[in-house]
Chain A
Amino acid sequence: MAVKDYLRERFFPHMWCPGCGHGTVLNGLIRAVEKLGMSKNEIVMVSGIGCSSRISGYVDFHTLHTLHGRALAFATGIKLSKPELNVIVPMGDGDALAIGGNHFIHAARRNIAMTALVMNNRIYGMTGGQYSPLSGYGTVATTAPFSNIDQGFDVVKLASAAGATFVARTTVYHVHEVSDLIQQAVLHDGFSVVEVLSQCPTYFGRHNRLGGPVEMLQWFKDQTTRIGSKAAAENPELIQRGIFVQEDRPEYCTEYDKVIDKAMAAVKG
């Protein structure tokens, strides 16, 4: 299938600003699905609220655009009630880790098979540029005009500690990695997290004087490196990209099937 066959052309043009990184995530996601050769009917995309969450409207899957922060909770209901579906949950950084933080850690803890895609642009874009839990200390936002004193989360560490069995990170500059990591995450039998650093030139870039989209993409290129690379050893300040966690642990829906077996056996005596 061609890439455009995965899009709902009826719903374009999209609502993202010029220079936004989210379109690149959409591109990587569709290429991943294309390579996986999955039927569109077996994919459900569940999103929350925010710029990133509008991604679900543009793809020709079963799509559920839910409430701010709650995408993973809706997704859990879908997955457990119909485990044969592949569930992909794109979320923004505020959506996934501020208002949705509780659902994020508990979905990870359960190890329910779905892919959480954290489109991290370090800002609340749709509401006009307020700081998020991933903005980081010292950044400027419309609600932190004197510089942000909130410390940021590290998505990789948080997801790993909460029990996610596949954890990866990349940036929209590394578009082939986006596609490759999403592909591996979707195939993973457990809760998978892919953090994609994405630029918001409109708010984060402008308030923090990081230049336009080109400069922000250049920053992703310069300030990140592959896990275990020589550059990482030489400069620990660099943000590492790649797969941080990939392990097998009992998957929730598979385990629930065992509960059903036990319950049915108990009834039969």
Chain B
Amino acid sequence: MEGALYAGLEFFAGYPITPSTEIAEHLSRRLPERGGKFIQMEDEIASMCAIIGASLTGHKVLTATSGPGFSLKQEALGYAIMAEIPCVIVNVQRGGPSTGIPTHIAQGDVNQARWGTHGDHAIIALTASNHQDVFAMTVEAFNMAETFRTPVILLFDEVVGHMRERLLLPEPGQIPLVDRLKTSVREGVDYHPYLPREDGRLPMADFGGVHRYNVTGLYHDMWGFPSDNPKVVHGLIRHLVDKIENHVEQITRYKSFYLDDARTVLVSYGAAARTALHVVEGQRKRGQKYGLLELQTLWPFPAEVVADTCAGAERVVVVEMNMGQVCREVQRVVNDPGKVFLANRIDGVLVTPTDIRQTLRLIAGQGV
């Protein structure tokens, strides 16, 4: 929340849902204090739609939800992808499917963040394991949303969402903020809202300004007008995917712990990474060469970083709170998928060091 305000949040629309309601409560007070707007909409779908509308008038916007609400937002999320409207969506994950287990931890929405909305597309999803990083990743999310003109998903989890922890607020200006790239086309001159510059970026014009244009969720030409011309359709889908997939390096955020000489690499993210780090530090004290790669960018998947980090490792253990959603990605990108194992927990309880150590013993053939 504080990260969003630091990044320049001006508009929030939401709907009550555990475990993300605290964000709405907090912003209903904090936003009007600075002249921003908060609205509690009639449902999750409406909240997502409302922030897209508010973004079009030139504002930095946010909504927050959890699993069931995230499911409901998927259609409008796809709209924001197609119409290239910057916005940030927080999903404080809980156990699913369905109503699931609202007040307990899970990391089961990783693939939903990637493929939840229909049709081919690219997406940016970030996560964090502690409040300082939540702050930093939230600022990054707003920056990336504006840079790439796309929705960015912040995939947090219930433990990080509900715990209390120290947070040092950076001074204004300490973290660079990205403002929206506005068109320099003058009034009276044709403005092509969907004609990308050479670098792939699309300068935007605010609704209410001097350039009037059409925005649609249909495939559209450079005027924003619906088109089913195969060249237009192909060009747009390539643009939507390439603008993100061609900038994986720029979007990738991660943290390395003891990786230089690690023979066993743990790959983890979110609250699970805290447990993983505890295990790694314990093993290091025993002289074992363990390291941790903590992913903060989940999508686009940082294939190169993961492949390079794991290249020299004898074994890779992915620690996560689902049935292996990131594990499969790691297996896909490493040189030897056979050395990748999963240490997970899927019962609503945060994965413990014992859980991980049991998996490590199994891998080593030492039994449970």
Pair count A-B, CB < 8 A: 138
> B residues within 8 A CB of A176?
none
> C-beta contact mask, B47-80 vs A, less than 8 Å → 1, else 0?
1011111111111010000000000000110010
Provide the bound-state CA to CA distance between A262 and B33, in Å.
Answer: 8
> C-beta contact mask, A66-109 vs B, less than 8 Å → 1, else 0?
11001001111111111011000000000000000011001000
Selected from A11, A102, A259, A262, the residue in CB contact (under 8 A) with B225 is: A11
| Interchain nearest-CB distance for B32 vs A (Å) | 4
> A residues within 8 A CB of B367?
none
| Interchain nearest-CB distance for A151 vs B (Å) | 24
> A residues within 8 A CB of B32?
256, 259-260, 262-264
Interface size for A (C-beta < 8 A) is: 42
> A residues within 8 A CB of B218?
65
| Interchain nearest-CB distance for A265 vs B (Å) | 10
Q: Is A63 in contact with B213, judged by CB distance below 8 angstroms?
A: yes
Are A42 and B42 CB-contacts (below 8 A) given A63-B214, A81-B53?
no
Q: Which of A53-61, A126-134, A204-212 contacts B (4 or more CB under 8 A)?
A: A53-61
Q: Is B50 in contact with A80, judged by CB distance below 8 angstroms?
A: yes
Are A62 and B46 CB-contacts (below 8 A) given A77-B53, A85-B57, A266-B33?
no
Main secondary structure of the interface of B (DSSP, over half): mixed
Known: A66-B49, A266-B33. 10 other contacts (CB 8 A): A41-B209, A41-B210, A42-B208, A63-B215, A67-B75, A76-B13, A77-B11, A85-B57, A256-B39, A263-B32
Are A63 and B75 CB-contacts (below 8 A) given A78-B54, A264-B35?
no
Are A73 and B49 CB-contacts (below 8 A) given A60-B212, A66-B79?
yes
| Interchain nearest-CB distance for B163 vs A (Å) | 27
Q: Does B177 contact A (CB under 8 A)?
A: no
In chain B between 1 and 54, which residues have their CB closer than 8 angstroms to a CB of chain A?
Answer: 10-11, 13, 29, 32-33, 35, 37, 39, 41-43, 45-47, 49-54
Q: Which of chain A's residues has its CB closest to B223's CB? A: A10
> B residues within 8 A CB of A60?
212
Q: Is B212 in contact with A63, judged by CB distance below 8 angstroms?
A: yes
Q: Is B42 in contact with A102, judged by CB distance below 8 angstroms?
A: yes
Main secondary structure of the interface of A (DSSP, over half): helix
Q: Does A40 contact B (CB under 8 A)?
A: yes
> A residues within 8 A CB of B76?
67, 70
Are A263 and B13 CB-contacts (below 8 A) given A82-B208, A102-B43?
no
In chain B between 183 and 221, which residues have their CB closer than 8 angstroms to a CB of chain A?
Answer: 207-210, 212-218
Provide the bound-state CA to CA distance between A264 and B30, in Å.
Answer: 10
| Interchain nearest-CB distance for B29 vs A (Å) | 7
**Best-buried of A44, A78, A266 by chain B (most CB within 10 Å):** A78
Q: Which of chain B's residues has its CB closest to A56's CB? A: B214
Q: Does B353 contact A (CB under 8 A)?
A: no
Provide the bound-state CA to CA distance between A40 and B212, in Å.
Answer: 8
> A residues within 8 A CB of B41?
73, 76, 106
> A residues within 8 A CB of B212?
40-41, 60-63
| Interchain nearest-CB distance for A117 vs B (Å) | 17
Q: Is A80 in contact with B39, judged by CB distance below 8 angstroms?
A: yes
> B residues within 8 A CB of A10?
223, 225
8 pairs from A and B in contact (CB 8 Å cutoff): A62-B207, A62-B208, A76-B49, A77-B39, A81-B53, A106-B42, A256-B39, A264-B35
Selected from B53, B59, B79, the residue in CB contact (under 8 A) with A76 is: B53
Q: Does B226 contact A (CB under 8 A)?
A: yes
Q: Does A64 contact B (CB under 8 A)?
A: yes
Q: Does A2 contact B (CB under 8 A)?
A: no
> C-beta contact mask, B211-254 vs A, less than 8 Å → 1, else 0?
01111111000010110000000000000000000000000000
Q: Is A82 in contact with B57, judged by CB distance below 8 angstroms?
A: yes
Q: Is A81 in contact with B59, judged by CB distance below 8 angstroms?
A: yes
Q: Does A1 contact B (CB under 8 A)?
A: no
Q: Is A64 in contact with B53, judged by CB distance below 8 angstroms?
A: yes
Q: Does A51 contact B (CB under 8 A)?
A: no
Provide the bound-state CA to CA distance between A103 and B76, in Å.
Answer: 14
Q: Which of chain A's residues has its CB closest to B217's CB? A: A67
Provide the bound-state CA to CA distance between A264 and B212, in Å.
Answer: 34
Q: Which of chain B's residues has its CB closest to A263's CB? A: B32
> C-beta contact mask, A2-19 vs B, less than 8 Å → 1, else 0?
000000101100000000
